[in-house]
């Protein structure tokens, strides 16, 4: 792991003193820390303590940055490898979730293009409050890594989840994040070969309701699409991930929009345009129940099953290809169980995609961790060795970056 540069935002809470210990651990491991102290934080630790431990100037107000050309708030938010909010109070979490920027800390959090980790600490009732839980879910969906607080006796005398995890644990989580591959910067391009590009990725299955308790679905786990979204973000792209129902965490730095059905996915894709690239990995259900019933369908006692009339779903990829806001590079997937390459070539023509990433899903690909890919482009077919889904994602992201080099 390279020595990390960490921007540490210290919020206002009794646990703020532990931020001092975190600074010490980061320094001990060879990293550097620049601290930003919120107004609340300054009631619990002094700028002097953080400055002495970090050996760097501590910032606490937007207006401290007296000379924007010397150290502007944008530069402050970008020069780090990682932004850590510790302790993240209920108020800071709420502002982050809402995109409020009314002081230096929240302005930096809105302006940063780096991964963000929030380490919550607050009273147990505040942590369990639906508003905080909603805000935490929002942040996680936006790609922020929100650690779970520890459980135990709190400074306020109550008991439960809400305590700040111990600094060695927080540092361990930071190390894990920093060990993930960092953006491979292309020469002259700040932040990776896809910096400045907006890339739309669809992933997962869709669920097509039959009635309020039943639906039509498929076996897609979303793993390949999520890995691709993460790999593109690592190369600096702004990634919008439109996801069907899956049980996966949002990759760092990715903006995720959750949908259920194919028609919702089509609407979310349309709303996310324009994009430079679209990678349509989702296993969209081809059909939906023609008349989804508002009430649970009951057995009528006749012993005969109900008839399920199906209607075809919109083809999101083909619609994007034919539309006026077609991304410059449009990539489809082809899940095939036989004649993989001929079917993929035909699919590329039929859907007017630039590339088709074809995979044989006859084995355990759906839900598994590896994939054998044939990349069908306008100039031919590249067959890749069997790779993990993460490696497929990195290779595809690098191919996309090459197109924009
Ligand atoms: N796709 C889509 N909208 C649909 C169906 C598929 O956008 N309604 C996209 C998928 O995300 C994928 C590509 O089209 O990128 C191919 O999906 P696939 O399921 O392999 O193909 P189908 O169109 O369903 O064709 P078939 O079932 O005949 O193989």
The residue-averaged pLDDT of 196-224 equals 95
The residue-averaged pLDDT of 107-120 equals 92
Is residue 172 domain-shared with residue 219, that is, in the same domain? no
Q: Cβ(320) to ligand 1 under 6 A?
A: no
Q: Supply the CATH number for residue 76's domain.
A: 3.40.50.1950
Beta partners for residue 387, in sequence order:
371
Report, as residue numbers or ranges, the catalytic residues.
Answer: 156
How far CA 15 is from CA of 128, 154, 156, 170, in Å, comes to: 18, 10, 11, 13
The residue-averaged pLDDT of 285-314 equals 92
Q: Could you tell me the pLDDT band of residue 184, with boundaries at 50, 70 and 90? A: very low
Q: Could you tell me the pLDDT band of residue 75, with boundaries at 50, 70 and 90? A: confident
Domain endpoint, select from 151, 179, 207: 179
The C-alpha atoms of residue 100 and residue 96 are separated, in whole angstroms, by: 6
Q: Give the pLDDT confidence score for residue 252 in this predicted structure.
A: 82
The C-alpha atoms of residue 98 and residue 142 are separated, in whole angstroms, by: 11
pTM over the 0.85 mark:
no
The C-alpha atoms of residue 55 and residue 53 are separated, in whole angstroms, by: 6
How far CA 186 is from CA of 38, 42, 51, in Å, comes to: 35, 40, 34
Mean pLDDT value across the chain: 90
Q: Give the pLDDT confidence score for residue 362 in this predicted structure.
A: 76
Domain membership flag for residue 382: yes
78, 83, 99: which is closest to 236 by C-alpha?
78
Is residue 96 domain-shared with residue 218, that is, in the same domain? no
Mutating to test ligand 1, I would choose from 264, 267, 269, 280 the residue with most ligand atoms within 8 A of its C-beta, which is: 280
- Answer for the pair 374, 332: CB distance below 8 angstroms, yes or no: no
Q: Give the pLDDT confidence score for residue 391 in this predicted structure.
A: 95
- Answer for the pair 282, 204: CB distance below 8 angstroms, yes or no: yes
Is residue 146 domain-shared with residue 236, that is, in the same domain? no
Q: Could you tell me the pLDDT band of residue 189, with boundaries at 50, 70 and 90? A: very low
Long-range contacts of the stretch 124-133 (C-beta < 8 A, 24+): 124/154, 124/158, 124/159, 124/160, 124/161, 124/162, 125/158, 126/90, 126/162, 127/90, 127/160, 127/161, 127/162, 128/160, 128/161, 129/90, 131/94, 132/90, 132/93, 132/94
Q: Give the pLDDT confidence score for residue 180 in this predicted structure.
A: 57
Which region among 71-85, 232-246, 321-335 has the lowest average model confidence (pLDDT)? Answer: 71-85
282, 292, 309: which is closest to 208 by C-alpha?
292
Task: Name the residue with higher pLDDT: 362 or 322.
Answer: 322
Task: Name the residue with higher pLDDT: 3 or 327.
Answer: 327
Which residues, including other chains, have CB under 8 Å from residue 129's CB and lie 6 or more apart? Answer: 90
Q: Give the pLDDT confidence score for residue 159 in this predicted structure.
A: 85
- Answer for the pair 384, 355: CB distance below 8 angstroms, yes or no: no
Q: Is the dihedral of CA 39, 44, 47, 53 positive or negative?
A: negative
The residue-averaged pLDDT of 49-73 equals 78
Domain membership flag for residue 303: yes
The C-alpha atoms of residue 331 and residue 352 are separated, in whole angstroms, by: 10
CA 203 – ligand 1 centroid, Å: 12
- Answer for the pair 35, 55: CB distance below 8 angstroms, yes or no: no
Is residue 235 domain-shared with residue 155, that is, in the same domain? no
CA 367 – ligand 1 centroid, Å: 18
Domain membership flag for residue 185: no
Q: Which domain holds residue 314?
A: 198-404
Is residue 389 domain-shared with residue 297, that is, in the same domain? yes
**pLDDT above 80 for 117:** yes
Is residue 153 domain-shared with residue 217, that is, in the same domain? no
* Highest-confidence segment of 5-14, 154-163, 288-297: 5-14
Domain membership flag for residue 192: no
120, 203, 205, 117: which is closest to 160 by C-alpha?
120
Mutating to test ligand 1, I would choose from 266, 284, 315 the residue with most ligand atoms within 8 A of its C-beta, which is: 284
16, 28, 29, 90: which is closest to 58 by C-alpha?
16
Is residue 143 domain-shared with residue 282, that is, in the same domain? no
Domain membership flag for residue 184: no
Q: Give the pLDDT confidence score for residue 289 in this predicted structure.
A: 95
Q: Cβ(210) to ligand 1 under 6 A?
A: no
Q: Give the pLDDT confidence score for residue 188 in this predicted structure.
A: 37
Q: Cβ(355) to ligand 1 under 6 A?
A: no
Mutating to test ligand 1, I would choose from 203, 332, 349, 376 the residue with most ligand atoms within 8 A of its C-beta, which is: 332
Q: Could you tell me the pLDDT band of residue 182, with boundaries at 50, 70 and 90? A: very low
Q: Cβ(313) to ligand 1 under 6 A?
A: yes
Condensed to tens digits (0 to 9), the pLDDT of residues 337-358 reads 899 999 999 999 999 999 999 9
CA 332 – ligand 1 centroid, Å: 8
């Amino acid at each position: 792991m390279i020595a990390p540069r960490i921007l540490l935002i210290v919020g206002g809470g009794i646990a703020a003193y532990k931020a001092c210990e975190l600074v010490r651990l980061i320094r001990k491991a060879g990293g550097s820390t620049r601290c930003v102290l919120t107004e609340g934080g300054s009631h619990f630790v002094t700028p002097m303590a953080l400055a002495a431990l970090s050996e760097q100037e501590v910032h606490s107000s937007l207006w401290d940055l007296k000379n924007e050309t010397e150290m502007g708030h944008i530069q402050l938010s970008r020069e780090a490898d990682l932004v850590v909010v510790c302790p993240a109070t209920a108020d800071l979490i709420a502002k982050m979730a809402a995109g409020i920027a009314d002081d230096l800390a929240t302005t930096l959090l809105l302006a940063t293009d780096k991964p963000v980790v929030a380490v919550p600490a607050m009273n147990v009732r505040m942590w369990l409050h639906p508003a905080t839980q909603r805000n935490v879910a929002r942040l996680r969906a936006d790609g922020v890594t929100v650690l779970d607080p520890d459980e135990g006796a709190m400074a306020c005398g109550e008991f439960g989840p809400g305590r700040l995890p111990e600094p060695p644990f927080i540092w361990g989580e930071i190390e894990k994040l920093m060990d993930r591959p960092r953006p491979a910067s292309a020469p002259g391009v700040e932040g990776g070969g896809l910096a400045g590009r907006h890339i739309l990725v669809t992933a997962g299955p869709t669920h097509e309701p039959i009635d309020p308790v039943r639906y039509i679905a498929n076996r897609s786990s979303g793993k390949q699409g999520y890995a691709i979204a993460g790999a593109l973000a690592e190369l600096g792209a702004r990634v919008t991930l439109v996801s069907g129902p899956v049980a996966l965490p949002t990759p760092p730095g990715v903006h995720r929009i959750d949908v259920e059905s194919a028609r919702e996915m089509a609407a979310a894709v349309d709303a996310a345009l324009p994009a430079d690239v679209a990678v349509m990995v989702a296993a969209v259900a081809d059909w939906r129940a023609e008349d989804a019933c508002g009430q649970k369908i009951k057995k009528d006692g006749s012993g005969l099953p109900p008839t399920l009339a199906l209607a075809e779903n919109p083809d999101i990829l083909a619609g994007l290809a034919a539309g006026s806001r077609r991304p410059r590079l449009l990539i489809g997937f082809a899940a095939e169980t036989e004649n993989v390459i001929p079917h993929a070539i035909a699919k590329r023509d039929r859907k007017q995609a630039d590339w088709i990433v074809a995979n044989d899903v006859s084995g355990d690909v759906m839900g598994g961790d590896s994939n054998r890919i044939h990349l069908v482009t306008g100039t031919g077919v590249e067959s890749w060795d069997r790779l993990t889904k993460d490696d497929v994602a990195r290779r595809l992201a690098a191919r996309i970056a090459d197109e924009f080099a």
